[in-house]
């Protein structure tokens, strides 16, 4: 599994519009086989930072989603909405390997 971590620099005057955009992408990612873990909007922090986390079974599955999203009418509408409403200034995407299950045995073994 691979998790995509996206850090957005957003227009702080357009947080409500960004939330509309975010809510649209959750089912879109899921439509293409991903699991969305949510968007995180400014609250008591920098007013221009938003985050998103979503996972795909593999990097190849993520790339397939990216390819198909270019041709999907709903994805294109979301891209247009973001552009027309000037909500995203820039974003950075990172890929992470999630650790989703706990296990104390390796720690105990390492500690002797």
Span 11-44, pLDDT tens digits = 999 999 999 999 999 999 999 999 999 999 998 8
Spell out the SS3 assignment of 12-71.
HHHHHHHHHHHHHHHHHHHHCCCEEEEEECCCCCCCCEEEEEEEECCHHHHHHHHHHHHH
For the chain, the structural domain boundaries read 2-56+66-97
Residue 9 per-residue DSSP state: E
CATH code of the domain occupying 2-56+66-97:
3.30.70.100
pTM: 0.87
Span 71-106, pLDDT tens digits = 999 999 999 999 999 999 999 999 999 998 899 998
């Amino acid at each position: 599994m691979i998790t995509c971590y996206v850090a957005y620099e957003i227009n702080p005057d357009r947080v409500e519009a960004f939330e509309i955009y975010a809510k649209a992408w959750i089912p879109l990612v899921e439509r293409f086989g991903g699991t969305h873990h949510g968007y995180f909007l400014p609250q008591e922090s920098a007013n221009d930072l938003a985050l998103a986390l979503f996972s795909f079974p593999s990097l190849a599955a993520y790339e397939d989603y990216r390819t198909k999203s270019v041709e999907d009418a709903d994805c294109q509408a979301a891209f247009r909405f973001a552009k027309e409403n000037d909500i995203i200034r820039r974003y950075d995407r990172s890929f992470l390997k999630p650790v989703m299950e706990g296990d104390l045995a390796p720690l105990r073994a390492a500690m002797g």
